[in-house]
Amino acid sequence: MTRKAKPAAEARRCEAPDCDVDFVPQRSTARYHSTTCRSRAARSRKAAEDNAAEEAKTGTDAEHELVRAVRLELEKSKATTTIAGQLALQVARRIANPDTTGISTLSKELRTLVAEACGPAQAKDASPTPVAKAEPDEVEKARRRREEKAAKAAEQS
């Protein structure tokens, strides 16, 4: 009985995301050079499927209420194509889809940008008068603590 000689395997590139390793597969069906890469690729595929399912469920054209409100306000004052208007839309999108940035800072910036884009007359209409004094945000609290510490240190000196 004679055995057929196996053809020499050619090197191929690992198909895992962010992997640049060239390897010689031991089997003709091998797509990844290691178990780690195979697992990483499987997790990546699952995440892509989950994202696609979420987009299908919510609709890809869905616009967050805040972004829609800012866009409508800018369109009403014909300021969507201005630099301040575009910045306001970007800040509204960041607030709607937060990552690690502070929303309080972004919301103040959004108010400023909408006021700048819409002009002083629109800004008065856009910001409602507060019924009760709002709680100070994180930045204001930290500023007050620093000032109080500095005042105590000055008194003790």
Per-residue pLDDT of the chain in tens (157 residues, 90 and over written 9): 567 666 667 889 998 888 889 999 999 899 999 999 999 889 888 888 877 776 666 544 467 888 888 888 888 888 878 877 888 888 888 777 766 556 667 777 777 878 877 776 544 444 444 445 556 677 788 888 899 999 988 888 7
Backbone angles phi, psi at 23, to 5 degrees: -145, 160
Name the residue among 54, 139, 64, 48 with its Cα closest to residue 102.
139
Q: Which residue ranges make up each domain of the chain?
A: 12-58, 63-127
Per residue, the 3-state secondary structure of 69-87, as one string, reads HHHHHHHHCCCCCCHHHHH
Give pTM, 2 decimals: 0.34
The tokens for 49 are 């499927």
State the Cα torsion 80-86-91-96 to the nearest 10°.
Answer: 50
For residues 59 and 91, is the Cβ–Cβ distance under 8 A? no
